[in-house]
A = this chain, B = another copy of it.
Amino acid sequence: MTRVRVQNFTVSRDGIGAGQEQSYEQPFGHVDPGELFTWAFPTAGWPGRTDPGGSRGFEDHLTRDFARNIGAEIMGRNKFGPQRGPWADESWQGWWGDEPPFHTPVFVLTHHVRPSFSLGETTFHFLDATPADALAQATAAADGQDVRIGGGVSTVREFLEADLIDEMHIAVAPWDLGTGLKLWESPEELTDRFELERITADSGYTHCFLWR
């Protein structure tokens, strides 16, 4: 049975997952992803790792889990790129170079659809659809595996509001950001619908596991 999962999604202690003023140079806006993902980058399993080595403790179990049994991802257009409105051209193929870390079909939610394309092992499709309709297409593409809701913040919130998420792993940094796109005030907001377990790692990050 396909489950709908959020994984390795990272926010500040005050719930902010991305900054404002996203641009080509700053995919997370004013937030430095190198700072936000301090928990993940040193692990052996981080999908973006290019050199051998890395830590193999608790948090490595989480980064390694990114690809496990995932058959498709759904992301918002602002995870795919910084453009807004109609595409000026269709040369943009995402931030991830020639081999994006997804290795599955990826469904990009946008009011401005464009043709599908493949890059490495990943195929990007563009959908102007409700969360439920997008999930139906992603579930069919996942072929019995799970569907990852990849973010950003607005996309995760839309799927939460549509009550379509089965489980989430959210990493919470030990410091505040103050301004930016906010996932939640606190994970307690979700305990009416989800089980919640919070685990603090040696990195200082608190990992929230929510499931039902």
Contact = CB atoms under 8 A, between A and B. Distances in A.
Interface of A: 55-58, 60-62, 64-65, 68, 167, 195, 197, 199-202, 207, 209, 211
Contacts of A207: 58
3 closest Cβ pairs, A-B complex:
A56-B211, A57-B197, A57-B209
Given A57-B211, A68-B68, 15 more contacts: A55-B211, A56-B167, A56-B195, A56-B209, A57-B197, A57-B209, A58-B197, A58-B199, A58-B207, A58-B209, A60-B209, A61-B61, A61-B62, A64-B65, A199-B200
A166 to B, nearest CB: 8
- Give how many copies assemble into the complex: 2
A4 to B, nearest CB: 12
A67 to B, nearest CB: 10
B199 A201 contact: yes
A167 to B, nearest CB: 5
Contacts of A65: 61, 64
Nearest to A201: B199
A194 B211 CA distance: 33
